[in-house]
Each structure stands twice: as structure tokens, then as C-alpha cells.
Amino acid sequence: MVLKSTKLDTEALLLEETLFHTANGYLGVRGNMEEGFDDPKSIRGTYINGFYDTVDLSYPERLYGFPVQAQRMINLPDIQTIKIIFDGNELSPLINKPAEYERTLDTKEGIAKRHLIYTVGEGTLSVIYTRMASFCRPELFLTVLEITSKNLSGKLELKAGINCDVRNYTNPDDPRVAAESVRHIIMDDAKTLDDGGYVCCSTSASELEVALLQRYKATGMDISTRATATGVEINLTTHINTNKKYSIEKYSILSDSIRQPKPVEYALGAADEYIKAGAGALLAEQKDYMDEFWHVAAIKTEGNKEVEDTLEFNLFQLLQSTGRDGITSTASKGISGEGYEGHYFWDTEIYIFPFFLFTKPEIAKALLTYRHSIINRARENALIMGHKSGALYSWRTISGSECSSYFPSGAAQYHINGDIAYSFMQYWYATGDIEFMAQKGAEVLIETARLWLDVGHYSADGRFLLHCVTGPDEYTCMINNNYYTNRCAQANLKGAVTVYEMLWQQNAAGHAEQATGITQEEINLFEKAADAMWLPYDEALDINPQDDSFLEKPVWDIAKTPNDKFPLLLHHHPMHLYRFQVCKQADTVLAHILFEDGIKDSTKRNSFDYYQRISTHDSSLSRCAFGIMAARLGLENKAYEYFYDTLITDLENTHGNTKDGLHTANLGGSWMVTVMGFAGMRLNEKGLHFKFMQPGMWNRTCFKINYLGRIINVQMERDKSKLSLEKGQPVDIYVNDEKIRLNQTPLELPHT
């Protein structure tokens, strides 16, 4: 799809900066204007996924174990600026209204463009900016500037460069963005090159280094460069003749000391290579990458272009947002803004991971590799939180240590452990990658399982209980036996047993045993606790209560709450919210999606109805879960409603804060409703399952699934679906709980 903006609305600019940003999982550049470094209304941002500074956390009352330092993804020196001066007059849409203005994001090509035409005297100057964050060369941010003159001539100057005088965006009144402003970037060196220059910077506290280099290819233009106290100035000048076209290629290279021992040298070498390849080849390479991506990832919703386009937009943004180097994950806002300070949450494992697992499993594997890479931080965190053994993943983090400073809806969300374990198990079921489970997966599963044994205890009547934790719903905190948490702890314990026994049988348990010291005795304890896990159930309502005392509380009157009092968390003291049956987001309903085992259909349906009435969906992680469950329950209209709200969250800015970055979990959620909801896909120890339900809002849904190395082609229609293997050996899957063998010949299955 091509996202288009055809007029310059300064009120919409902050939003567009996010929507039109360009990123590749490593670097992210907001869709700021090249012309507008000084624009005060802009959040001008350049980021590297996982590149952080540490900030001190100070509390009026600091209790034991409260984190004293957090990581923050920092805004890097500005590399976007290219001011255009023609005959001494600056040309900028912020100053002179251009005759024509168009901005596009092409999700098929993986590039963003702006095209402006300025009237200058009798003539015009056409300016096209093309931007690309290269998926094939992660360190490269490429800008191609094409200037075409018509009926005019004069002096053309381009003022560009690298500016280190930058800060992060702050808002002390919104707990969802950073509260105070600190100068994170210290410029250590600025050097010029014949055709550009570079800066070396370090972070003020975390002592990381980053090099930002910029070089130009601009035939027919003079380049002058100058190092300053705040960066590098790069000026390009020429005398432009009438009806002439200039093409300027700008190569910006970012390299950091987390990935490279010598960032500057690496950037210099990479620049040589990329300039040699040239913009044309690099753009073509991007197109090839995108073609290959869309070949599997695309979802066609025949008869509903809006849905298809928006899904494409969402999935493209996921591709832009997600780290794939094994040392990063997907920040809750991707690399598109500074909301939640670039932290990784459970969003990745539960909402984003599934899309990659089934369309681009190498990225899914990289996400798990990241979690494994920080397991020692999780072990340390477990000790801080009072546990004798095991690993407790941090609720929000970049480098692994806990960054949540309000623990009741932060560090108390122990389900993060179960969420991560769930994603490892899903990976195992989807790939059968024994090597990975032996080297990394088992260690994570065992250490996370171990934690539950220490958190929980047995009641007098033999139930295994988990006290004082917080489930996904952040309007109900520090409660006993959160159904979701207990459910995912149970799966975590069982998963550790399953994988350990599998490895043991394959004679491949050595590494896991060495890394964890696991014994058969402990495996037995895992099994015992899983079997004894207490899962609250209310007989009369036939629902799973969210926790032990949830149903005792009065019900919040959502209908009577004025619209301007949402999200509730911005208008009510948390303790007040905790006293009511009111949910910020899907909790039990999500558990019923992820862990279906042994739940009666009636319980799912009743729980859905019950929690639907008391959920505000103030979290963008909520509606997609309700959408999946509605689809699975056959509630077509409801499902479509939730799906559509999920679909357009960022594009329509329905939460009002997309300016701070995309809602990446929600983006993944739109894929989940489609595939896990409408197509009823789920993956468990038995295998891959579908239960199709084509909604009436379009005719046919076509998508592909990567499963055990195969590519499965799915065409879902209103009353039947077609399945076939596009690639790979025949494989068994389940449709409506019946086993079928898939091969290259399409199988037509009427819906029951």
C-alpha cells in the first residue's frame, strides 16, 4: 500500500513523523522534515534499537530493591537535515507554501518519499526526497534528493550535516514518556571528509559509543565541510540552470559500540561499500527484500481494500520495528518514537512474536536469542526480588535489568516469565529446532519454571498458589492467583518438563543440565506444581475469575464514566481503580486464547461476556485479544468490531498518542485477529490447528504460514477454505480438530 499525505497540516505533523518513519529493526528515523531542524513542534528523532543511556531513578521513598537506574533509548544526533536555499531564500514548507506537496510511504518498496514543488518567480523547483532504512544493510539510512528546475536559474545551496545538539522528548505529566530531560549525547570528536564527515559520540552515563557518518554523492555540486563544536556542517552548492535535474545521494551510516568494537572504522568501511554499490542498487536490493517478505507475509482480504492496505501498513511497521540481531527485541513503540523509553515488554512475546514465527521465523528466533542473552540479568533480578533461585525477567528493560519504577503494575507482572516461556514453546512447536532448544531454549524454560516454584507455595489442601502478583490487567494489582499468571506459570512448568525430557531422550540435555544444574527431582517438582496449580473458577457464573477476590469487588460503571475520563489511569488514583471490577485490558480472555487446554466452551463464552462488560481497553493490547476470542466464539460482528478498532489504532491515531510511537503490540494484534481469530489458527503440542470463520465484511482471506519449514497456503472463504503446501514435504495439521495431511494439491474444506 502507499500511505499518502497530500497537504501540510502542522497539527498532524507529530503523528506523521511516526507513521512515515523509516526503520529497519536496527535504526529508526522519524519522518521529520529535512528542512526543519528548528521546528519546535516536532519530535525530531534518530534512534538505534537497544542503544541506550542509563538514567538514575530517584524516589521520594525508595524501598529495598527498587531499581536505581534505568535504560533509556536515546535520541541520537540529527542526520536528517538538508536545508534548501535558492538564490539566498530558504525553501521549506514550514516557511513557503509549496505549490504541490505529497508525502508517501510505500510499504511494498520499503521507502518513504516527499515531493514538493515550489514556485520561484516564473519558474518552479521540484524537490523529491526519498528515504530508506535499508533492511539489507542495517547501518544505512539513505536519502536521495532530486531537484529539478523549470524556467529558472540561480544559486542552489544545500545546508546539511550532523547535529549533536539534541535531547530526548520529555513530558513529566504523562507516566508513559520520560519525565525529565537529560543531555545523553556527548560529542567526543567531529571530523570532516571530502564528501562529508562524521562524529563520534558517547553516552553520558552508560558509556556506550556511537559513530554517525554522512557522505554525499552529488555530481555537479561543490561540497564544503566544516567541523564545529556540535557536529559537522556539510554544504553543497551549484549554479542551477533552467530545466535541469540534480540528484544528490546522501549516505548516513550509524554504528555503535554494542555491535562493533570500533564504530568509526566500521562506519567508514561500510560507507565505502555502500557508495560503491550506489543508491540505485541499494534501492533495488530493498525491493527484492520486500518482495521476498511480502511473498509469505502478505494477507489478501479480497473485496476489502481498506482492510488489506491497513494490514499491510501494520505488518510493514512490525518489520521496521523489530530487532533481529539477537541482542535486541521490539520496543513497545518500535524505533518510531520515545514512548516507554524504547523499553521491551511482554508485548514482543505475546503480540509480535507470533507474526514473525509464522512468516519469518529467523526473526522470531532472533527475538528469543535476545531473551536468552539476558538470562543472567533475569537471574540477578530474581535475587533482588527475594527469590533463592531461578530467573525473573524484567517487566520493562533494554539491557536486561528492571526499568519499571512503579512495581505494582511493573515488576509485579511476573507473567512476563510465562510469556517468554510460551514464546519458546511456540517456537519449538513451529520449528522443531532441537539445536536451539538444547543450546538456549531449555535453559530459559528451566530457569523461568524454577522461579515459579519459589514464588508459589502449596495450600493446606494441596493447591499450588501464586500470591501477590499482577496479571496483564493493570487496573487490578498485587492480587492472589491471577488466572492468567497461574495458567502461564503452569504452561511454563510443563514446557520445561516437555523440553527437558525431549532433549534427554535425544541425548541432547547436556548443555541445559550444565547451565542450570537441573535434576530429575526438580523436574518432578515442576510437574507436581503444574498439576496442582490453582486456577480460580466460579461455578455459578461458569467463568474463570481474574483472581481469588476479583468477583467480590463492586463493578465499575463504565457506561456512566464520561468520555474524557478515559484512559482511567490518567484520571483516577490506582488504588481506587484496584477496588473495582474494571479491566484495562484482556487478562482472563487472553489466557483462554493462549492456554485452551481443558476449558469448556461455555466457560470461554461466559468469561468473554463477563470481561467484555468491564473492560475499558485503555491498553492497546486489549481489543485484539477480545477480537480473537469473539472470532473463535463465532461472534462475527463483535469480532469485526474489535478487529477494525485494532487495525486502525495507529493509522487513525485512536489512542491519541501515536506521536510518541507506534503501538507495536497492537500492530501484531491485527495479524493475530486475522489468523488466530478468523482463521482460528493455534499451535500446541499436538500440532497446528485451524477453525475457519470468514467474516462477511470481505469475501476471501489469503495468507501463508511457515510451519515446520513448509509454506502453507490458506484461502479462506465464507463457507469453505482451501489449503495447500506451497513448499516442503507433506505435513499433518488439524482443521476443526480433524487431522488432515497437507501437500501440494489444494484441499478444499467446507466449513462445518
Residues labelled catalytic: 474
Of 33, 201, 299, 411, the one binding a copy of itself by CB under 8 A: 411
CA atoms within 13 A on the CB side of 144: 18
Do β-strands 687-690 and 731-735 pair in parallel, antiparallel, or remain unpaired? Answer: parallel
CB of 162 to a copy of itself, least distance (A): 31
Is residue 388 a contact residue for a copy of itself (CB under 8 A)? no
Using the rule CB under 8 A, which residue among 6, 570, 634, 637 binds a copy of itself?
570
**Per CB under 8 A, which region of 278-286, 323-331, 416-424, 568-576 contacts a copy of itself?**
568-576
The separation between CA 382 and the C-alpha centre of its own chain, rounded to angstroms, equals 25
**Residue 375, C-alpha cell as written in the block:** 538470562
Residues 684, 38: Cα–Cα separation, whole Å:
53
Q: Which of 652, 649, 595 is nearest to 621 (CA)?
A: 649
Tell me which residue of 250, 308, 254, 298 sits closest to 278, measured CA to CA: 250
Least gap, CB of 115 to a copy of itself (angstroms): 42
Q: Which is nearer to a copy of itself, 97 or 388 (CB)?
A: 388
The CA-to-CA distance between both ends of the chain, in Å, stands at 34
Q: Choose between 368 and 453: whose C-beta lies nearer to a copy of itself.
A: 453
* Beta-strand pair 140-150/154-163: unpaired
> Which residues inside 477-496 make contact with a copy of itself, applying CB under 8 A?
477-478, 480
Closer to a copy of itself by CB, 406 or 504: give it. 406
CB of 548 to a copy of itself, least distance (A): 7
- The sign of the CA dihedral 421, 427, 428, 433 is negative
Q: Total residues contacting a copy of itself (rule CB under 8 A)?
A: 53
Give the interface segment with a copy of itself, choosing from 1-9, 566-574, 671-679, 701-709 (CB under 8 A). Answer: 566-574
By beta-carbon proximity to a copy of itself, the closer residue of 174 and 222 is 174
> How far apart are the C-alpha atoms of 516 and 191, rounded to whole Å?
49
- In the bound complex, what is the minimum distance in angstroms from residue 606's beta carbon to a copy of itself? 17
User: Nearer Cβ to a copy of itself, position 99 or 555?
Assistant: 555
Residues 123, 574, 687, 728: which binds a copy of itself (CB under 8 A)?
Answer: 574
Closest by Cα among 209, 256, 252 to 34: 252
Cβ-based nearer residue to a copy of itself, 217 or 553: 553
List the interface residues with a copy of itself, window 493-552 (CB under 8 A): 548-549, 552
Q: Which is nearer to a copy of itself, 558 or 749 (CB)?
A: 558
Q: Return the exposure string of 298-332: e unless at least 16 CB atoms fall within 10 Å of the residue's CB, then b.
A: bbbbeebeebbbbbbbbbbbbbbbbbbebbbbbbb
Helices (H), 470-573: 483-505, 510-516, 520-532
> Within positions 145 to 174, which residues make up the interface with a copy of itself, using CB under 8 A?
172-173
- Of the listed pieces 111-119, 205-213, 353-361, 400-408, which binds a copy of itself according to CB under 8 A? 400-408
Nearer to a copy of itself, 365 or 377 (CB): 377
Neighbours of 172 (CB within 10 A): 10
- We find the least distance from the C-beta atom of residue 183 to a copy of itself, in angstroms, to be 18
For the four alpha carbons of 298, 304, 305 and 307, in that order, the dihedral sign comes to: negative
Three cell numbers written together for 591: 489466557
Please provide residue 687's backbone torsions phi and psi, each rounded to the nearest 5 degrees.
Answer: 145, -160
Q: Provide CB contacts within 8 A for 32, sequence distance 6+.
A: 17, 39, 42, 43, 44, 45, 80
The span of 428-436, 565-573, 628-636, 666-674 binding a copy of itself (CB under 8 A) equals: 565-573
Task: Output 445 or 466, the one with its CB closest to a copy of itself.
Answer: 466
Q: Least distance in Å: CB of 569 to a copy of itself?
A: 7
Q: What's 393's DSSP letter?
A: -
Site string for a copy of itself, 577-596 (x = CB under 8 A): xxx-----------------
| Chosen residue from 1, 12, 57, 193 binding a copy of itself by CB under 8 A | 57
Shortest distance in whole angstroms from residue 531 CB to a copy of itself? 19
By CB under 8 A, the residues from 328 to 347 that bind a copy of itself are none
Q: Would you count residue 407 as binding a copy of itself (CB under 8 A)?
A: yes
Strand order in the sheet with 82-86: 89-91, 82-86, 154-163, 231-240, 222-228
How far is Cα 595 from Cα 609, in angstroms, rounded to an integer? Answer: 18
Alpha-carbon span 120 to 123, nearest angstrom: 5
Contacting residue, 11, 61, 539, 564, with a copy of itself by CB under 8 A? 61
- Does residue 269 belong to the site contacting a copy of itself (CB under 8 A)? no
Query: Cis peptide before 567, with omega less than 30 degrees from 0?
Result: yes
CA atoms within 13 A on the CB side of 16: 23
| Contact range with a copy of itself by CB under 8 A, out of 58-66, 491-499, 614-622, 659-667 | 58-66
Output the smallest distance, CB 267 to a copy of itself, in A.
Answer: 34
Which 690-719 positions form the footprint of a copy of itself (CB under 8 A)? none
Residue of 41, 262, 571, 741 that binds a copy of itself (CB under 8 A): 571
Report the residue number, 21 or 396, with the smaller CB distance to a copy of itself.
Answer: 396
Give yes or no for residue 326 binding a copy of itself (CB under 8 A).
no
Question: How near is the Cβ of 405 to a copy of itself at its closest, in Å?
Answer: 4
Compose the 172-211 pattern: x for residues touching a copy of itself by CB under 8 A, - for all others: xx-x---xx-------------------------------
> For residues 335 and 321, is the Cβ–Cβ distance under 8 A?
yes
* Whole-number Å distance between alpha carbons of 617 and 170: 25
Measured from the CB of residue 206, what is the shortest distance to a copy of itself in angstroms? 17
Task: State the nearest-atom distance from the C-beta of 386 to a copy of itself, in Å.
Answer: 3
User: Which range binds a copy of itself by CB under 8 A, 347-355, 379-387, 429-437, 441-449?
Assistant: 379-387
Quote the least distance from Cβ 411 to a copy of itself, whole Å.
7
* 659 grid coordinates: 506521536
Helices 483-505/442-455 angle, 10° precision: 140
Within positions 434 to 463, which residues make up the interface with a copy of itself, using CB under 8 A? 455, 457, 459
Nearer to a copy of itself, 457 or 727 (CB): 457
Give the neighbor-by-neighbor strand order of the sheet with 22-23: 22-23, 27-29, 46-48
In the complex, minimum distance from the CB of residue 65 to a copy of itself, in angstroms, rounded to a whole number: 3
Q: What whole-number distance in Å separates Cα of residue 29 and Cα of residue 404?
A: 26
554 binds a copy of itself (CB under 8 A): yes
Q: List the one residue out of 582, 697, 585, 680 whose CA is nearest residue 634.
A: 680
Smaller CB separation from a copy of itself, 55 or 162: 55
- Which positions from 64 to 103 touch a copy of itself by CB under 8 A, shown as an x/- string? xxx---x---------------------------------
Q: Return the residue of 406, 504, 537, 734 that touches a copy of itself, per CB under 8 A.
A: 406
Spatial separation of the C-alpha atoms in residues 19 and 636, rounded to whole Å: 30
Amino acid of residue 324? R
Q: In the sheet where 682-684 sits, what is the strand order?
A: 682-684, 687-690, 731-735, 738-742
573 binds a copy of itself (CB under 8 A): yes
d(C-alpha 731, C-alpha 705), whole Å: 13
For a copy of itself, the binding residues (CB under 8 A) are 57-66, 70, 172-173, 175, 179-180, 384-387, 404-408, 410-412, 455, 457, 459, 465, 467-468, 477-478, 480, 548-549, 552-554, 569-579
